[in-house]
Amino acid sequence: MPNYNAPFGLRPAKGVNGQVVTGAPRQYSHLASDGTALFIGDPVKLAGTSSTINGVTMPDVVRAATGDVILGAVVGIVPTSRDTLGYGAASTAYTLLVNDDPNTLFEIQDANSGTALTINDVGLNANFVAGTGSTYTNQSGFTLDNTTEATTNTLDLKLVDVVNRADVDNASSPLRFLVRINRHQFSNQVAGV
User: Apex CA 65: angle with CA 15 and CA 77, to 5°?
Assistant: 60
pLDDT of residue 165: 84
Residues composing the chain: 193
Q: Does residue 64 register a pLDDT over 80?
A: yes
Q: What is the pLDDT of residues 5-54, one digit of tens each?
A: 888 999 999 888 777 776 689 999 999 999 999 999 999 999 999 999 98
pLDDT at 2 over 80: no
Summarised one tens digit per residue, pLDDT across range 158-192 is 999 988 888 877 777 788 999 999 999 998 766 66
Return the ∠ at Cα 65 (arms to 21 and 190), rounded to 5°. Answer: 75
Average pLDDT over residues 102-106: 93
pLDDT of 190 reads: 61
pLDDT for residue 164: 84
Helix H, strand E, coil C: the string for 37-69 is CECECCEEEEEEEEEEECCEEEEEEEECCCCCC
Q: Which of 129, 128, 110 is nearest to 119 (CA)?
A: 110
pLDDT band with cut points at 50, 70 and 90 for residue 127: very high
Q: What is the DSSP string of 5-26?
A: ------EEEEETTSPPP----E
The mean pLDDT of the chain is: 89
